[in-house]
């Protein structure tokens, strides 16, 4: 908080600058966005913007960390529930990833577009791979426990499953009912389209 007061100007704390930056990066691409563009969007001069943020890459790092920290925390919470079965953990992981994606939509959208052109992007891609690896491990554990089908490759399954989740960044709107969406995604992932009654 003290940093906000010290570095911010009225109407522009660190968080609001970050929100605007993420929105700009998503709209026109990170590479195509300059600090001048960001200053203009915030109604600041180009030199005043440096009171708020040291660099464009610093903003990118914070945005990507936001998405990655939230996804990692969600998986940590799932893992920490020792009473859950592997199937329940996988269900929770699918559900949580929908909730994190919806709750941090701009940051997750930015993360999913990262191609690894800068050091910050390379670091983010490495963290994404770590998350993919943890998700694939959860699929494998549920298959090993006999809870889910074991006739498909765990890595392929987790890619398809979380590819479905991630594709929501294409159309999700702030007014979407997230709990209901999370239920639908989990039901489709585990039970598929067919009726089983």
Residues near 99 by beta carbon (within 8 Å), at least 6 away in sequence: 74, 178, 182
Of the candidates 60, 49, 51, 50, the residue with the CA atom closest to the CA atom of residue 21: 60
Contact with a second copy (CB under 8 A): which of 46, 133, 160, 179? 160
Segment contacting a second copy by CB under 8 A, of 15-23, 68-76, 78-86, 179-187: 179-187
Contact with a second copy (CB under 8 A): which of 5, 163, 173, 175? 163
Contact with a second copy (CB under 8 A): which of 43, 170, 174, 175? 170
Is residue 67 within 8 Å of 107, Cβ to Cβ? yes
Instruction: Name which of 8 and 178 has its Cβ closer to a second copy.
Output: 178
Contact with a second copy (CB under 8 A): which of 43, 47, 171, 173? 171
Contact with a second copy (CB under 8 A): which of 92, 96, 97, 157? 157
Tell me which long-range contacts 28-31 makes (C-beta under 8 A, separation of at least 24).
30/56, 30/60, 30/110, 31/117
68 lies in the binding site for a second copy (CB under 8 A): no
Is residue 140 within 8 Å of 91, Cβ to Cβ? no
Nearest approach in angstroms of CB 168 to a second copy is 7
HSE at residue 192, side-chain half, CA atoms within 13 A, is 6
Nearest approach in angstroms of CB 99 to a second copy is 16
Q: Which residues pair with 9 in a beta bridge?
A: 12
159 lies in the binding site for a second copy (CB under 8 A): yes
Number of other CB atoms surrounding residue 111 within 10 Å = 24
25-54 positions binding a second copy, by CB under 8 A:
29, 31-32
């Amino acid at each position: 908080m003290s940093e906000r007061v010290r570095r911010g100007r009225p109407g522009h704390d660190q968080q609001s600058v970050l929100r605007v930056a993420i929105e700009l990066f998503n709209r026109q691409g990170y590479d195509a966005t300059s600090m001048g563009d960001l200053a203009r969007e915030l109604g600041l001069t180009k030199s005043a913007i440096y009171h708020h943020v040291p660099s464009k890459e610093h903003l990118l790092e914070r945005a990507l960390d936001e998405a990655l920290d939230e996804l990692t925390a969600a998986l940590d919470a799932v893992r920490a529930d020792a009473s859950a079965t592997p199937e329940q953990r996988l269900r929770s992981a699918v559900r949580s990833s929908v909730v994190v994606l919806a709750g941090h939509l701009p940051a997750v959208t930015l993360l999913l577009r990262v191609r690894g052109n800068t050091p910050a992007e390379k670091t983010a891609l490495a963290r994404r791979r770590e998350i993919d690896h943890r998700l694939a491990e959860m699929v494998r554990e549920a298959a090993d426990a006999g809870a889910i089908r074991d006739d498909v490759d765990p890595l392929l399954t987790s890619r398809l499953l979380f590819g479905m989740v991630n594709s929501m960044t294409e159309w999700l709107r702030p007014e979407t009912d997230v709990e209901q969406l999370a239920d639908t995604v989990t039901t489709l992932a585990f039970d598929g389209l067919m009726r089983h009654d």
